[in-house]
């Protein structure tokens, strides 16, 4: 069943100017840009009725996986395919997972505060404000976790940085909106951000989406969470210049993972050629001529990918959407001797070989 209007199921209409409307449930009159084709309007308060159960639900959660917690919340009657309830649920799932993973947080105070803040972000903010409420919710999570205020120093910067990274992930996929997809992208950005900036590891990756049959605007293959069972996953190895580590990872991925997935590499900026020491040693040790069909590429050259692996560049993580992400934390051997190059090459080979089970879980079938 495709869910649109909560009253009659008709498709929603988004206007460019506010009009006075009457809520079909509580009969409150207010100005809005959203109604269905038959004229029904449901206010944010009625749309999120029952959301106050969220606090009790999160208190019972023991998981450190925010995606698992979020899916439990999405299964509740108060959650619809789209709607402003996601603006609270994202932050609540993150706060709960952060607390369960050992983060310094008073969850009893944090969850009601998240409910108050998230409920103030209206439906349609993604299009009308240019800021998806799920991304804002991830910023609220960091704000609450760090005690940020408008006069704070580092916490203020962290909260705004979190929001910007979440919105970058969401914007990189493009529209039309999907509250499920955007919620998962916001959490994905928050898991990476929490590890890098708050020193807490949250568990798990997002599972393939089960909500797409309800969404008239589903992007399908363009969505990083669309089910890919029986299809070959795509893996992208990323670093800054796409000239050394990511190129070696792509080459070794093509060698060892060819039956299971397609491998690519790219960078946030590129050199004019692959590192000649990497080319020489890969040919010497593995018999692979990387210059035959590999070259430095920008992120924009990538197709939609399922797994993103960053090499560990000590820079902001690229906003490349994917179902799963890893960071390998590898030393850059550029400008160093062969011994360092060979050590990094061995580390890449070991990690590539360990990827088989990960890519199988993303939806491919064994040969």
Q: List, by residue number, the catalytic residues.
A: 239, 313, 317
**Phi and psi of 250, rounded to 5°?**
-60, -45
| Residue carrying structure tokens 């509250």 | 179
CB contact set of 265 (below 8 Å; sequence gap of 6+): 236, 237, 238, 239, 242, 246, 247, 249, 250, 294, 297
Structure tokens at 144: 């609450």
Closest CA to 330 of 308, 352, 345, 315: 345
8 A C-beta contact, residue 167 and residue 183? no
CA angle, residues 73, 166, 62, in degrees to nearest 5 = 35
């Amino acid at each position: 069943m495709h869910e649109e209007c909560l009253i009659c199921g008709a498709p929603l209409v988004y206007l460019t100017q506010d009009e006075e409307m009457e809520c079909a449930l509580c009969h409150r009159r207010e100005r809005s840009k959203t109604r269905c084709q038959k004229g029904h309007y449901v206010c944010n308060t009625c749309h999120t009725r029952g959301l106050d159960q969220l606090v009790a639900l999160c208190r019972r959660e023991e998981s450190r996986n925010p995606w698992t917690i979020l899916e439990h919340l999405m299964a509740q009657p108060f959650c619809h395919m789209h709607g402003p309830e996601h603006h609270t649920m994202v932050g609540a799932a993150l706060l709960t997972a952060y607390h369960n993973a050992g983060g310094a947080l008073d969850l009893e105070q944090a969850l009601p505060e998240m409910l108050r803040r998230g409920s103030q972000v209206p439906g349609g903010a993604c299009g009308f404000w240019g800021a998806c409420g799920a991304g804002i919710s991830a910023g609220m999570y960091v704000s609450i976790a760090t005690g940020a205020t408008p006069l704070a120093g580092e916490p203020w910067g962290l909260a705004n940085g979190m929001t910007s990274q979440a919105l970058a992930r969401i914007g990189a996929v493009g529209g039309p909106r999907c509250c499920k997809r955007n919620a998962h992208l916001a959490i994905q950005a928050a898991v990476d951000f929490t590890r890098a900036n708050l020193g807490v590891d949250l568990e798990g990756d997002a599972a393939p989406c089960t909500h797409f049959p309800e969404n008239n605007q589903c992007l399908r293959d363009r969505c990083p969470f669309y089910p890919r069972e029986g299809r070959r996953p795509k893996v992208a190895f990323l670093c800054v210049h796409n000239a050394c580590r990511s190129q070696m990872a792509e080459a070794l991925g093509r060698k060892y993972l060819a039956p299971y997935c397609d491998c690519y590499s790219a960078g946030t900026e590129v050199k004019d050629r692959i590192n000649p020491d990497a080319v020489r040693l890969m040919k010497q040790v593995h018999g692979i001529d990387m210059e035959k069909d590999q070259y430095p590429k920008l992120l924009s050259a990538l197709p939609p990918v399922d797994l993103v692996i960053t090499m560990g560049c000590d820079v902001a993580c690229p906003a490349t959407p994917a179902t799963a992400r890893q960071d390998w934390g590898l030393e850059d051997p550029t400008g160093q001797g062969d011994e360092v190059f060979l050590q990094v090459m061995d580390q890449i080979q070991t990690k590539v070989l360990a990827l088989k089970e990960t890519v199988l879980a993303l939806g491919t079938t064994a040969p």
